Chains A and B, each alone.
Chain A
Amino acid sequence: MTIRFKSKLASTLSVLALMSLPLAAETTGPGGEAATPTSAVTIDDAQAAELQTKGLKAALLWHDQSDFVNAVTAGATDELTRLGIKVVATTSAGFDSAKQMSDIETALALSPNIILSLPLDPVASAAAFAKAKEAGVKLVFLSNLPQGYKQPDDYAAIVTDDLFQMGKHAADALATSMGGKGTVGWIFHDAAYYVTNQRDQAFKTTIENDYPHMKIVAEAGISDPARAEDIANAMLLKNPDLGGIYVTWAGPAEGVLAALRANGNTTTKIVTLDLSEPIALDMVKGGNVTAIVADEAYELGRAMADTGARAILGVENPPFIVAPAVTVTKENVAEAWQQSLHRDAPQTVLDAAK
């Protein structure tokens, strides 16, 4: 989960710089563009047939390796294969902008028509992607944008998670499990990271605006996931009757769960974000965890592939495309895991859910 979270934070580097309204009421693009759902970005069979005759090539130039990137890669690769577009290179920059620039230069030797990438850093990537742009490669960016780049001349589109919806889904799921009333603890990420800040704030806003009988009575920031258990213990000491706790992502949620178990607390509900096996296991066993909200990483990759293909065909792309959030519960864990990562949930989780 840490790796996945690190990957998520990569988006921070960028989207941070992109979005002028850091805590918007909904997810918006770098220039305030409205978000278009990924479901609106598709390639039909006739277009696919046309693409298949062109002998096209694509390169996937990622910022790092993680299960999130793997799921995006799988979604993109499956769709590119359907369209007859060959993936000629896959790279990981390991969060190093210089390596990403080298990766771009190296991949250009293979003359790709499409590049899918998460630009690590808006400033450095402006220079790094310049050669690809000059070569006429269709660029599709994940979550971040090189400084000064204009859509559609410089890049096809940005595709990212619907961060606001992730936080909102978490609030809705917790409200459902609490019957729309009670007290809530809010454990947010105490650092200037766009991804977590957006999600955390969306949760808070939704509870405050949509659920008049629910009240956030305790707030605690967390910067080190290892301290989650201590923070939860302190929160429970002051508020022993908490109805539910929101935890910013699954890593610290494991610590909060440990605190509840140690206190013999079986009633306080937990809702958190991003898939994690221990958290999912508690949820399907009817423990404290009531729901996990995840992004549709595979769908995100699929949409990136189609965005690039549409640019090749000269079809207009929306500038800012978001992949939906999915709420994972005990009832839908098998399907939702597939929906998010396009692979089976861990066997332990599936067995316990039976």
Chain B
Amino acid sequence: MSGQSDPRGSTFSAAELEFLAEDETIEIVPNLRMERLSLICGDFGPFRPQIATQVPIWLAVALKKRGKCTIRPPDWMSVEKLTQVLEAERDSASSFEALPFHYVEISRLLFDDARDDIPDVYMVRSLIEDIKDVRFHKIGTGLEKLSSRTYAMKLNLSAMEVNVIRPFVTGGLETFYKLGNPDLIQESSDRPQHRRPQPADRGPRRELRR
């Protein structure tokens, strides 16, 4: 049952997130001739050698594993684009750059099965790791600002990030809500900051550049 999400926690397991990500479409260049596939999840193809076409990632990976296509990594998965994203992530304390909802899972799927189709794969991989780190740090800083008066929280994050912080956000907000009295707990910014170097709203830029 390990791969199944906890029925109590109502979150998705890593395998389930990957499953969802596998439905995202991606461009492939087939090297085989195959008729159109009329699948439950949609119609794909027809497949002609050297003619690019869009398919779900699970289908792309299945063809790739069998040596029947090359996968064109999505635009955002280039060194140039990811470097920009990383810079921008570091420059802003509360904005998150536009990455697909499933960027973590998609990159993992492609690293596993289509390494040779990704230019500068090692660089791309390490950039994605860095982006993940920076974003998680920002998320952590943001969570410190939750309070009993929080009634909503905008979190334009990726699937994996949402899943990881879900217990904190939902559990934390719920606890505040239960405590009820909004005056019981002071807004975190009203409190004298302890230990941490002042995580002002702009966010500590130095810390991000670990």
A and B associate? no
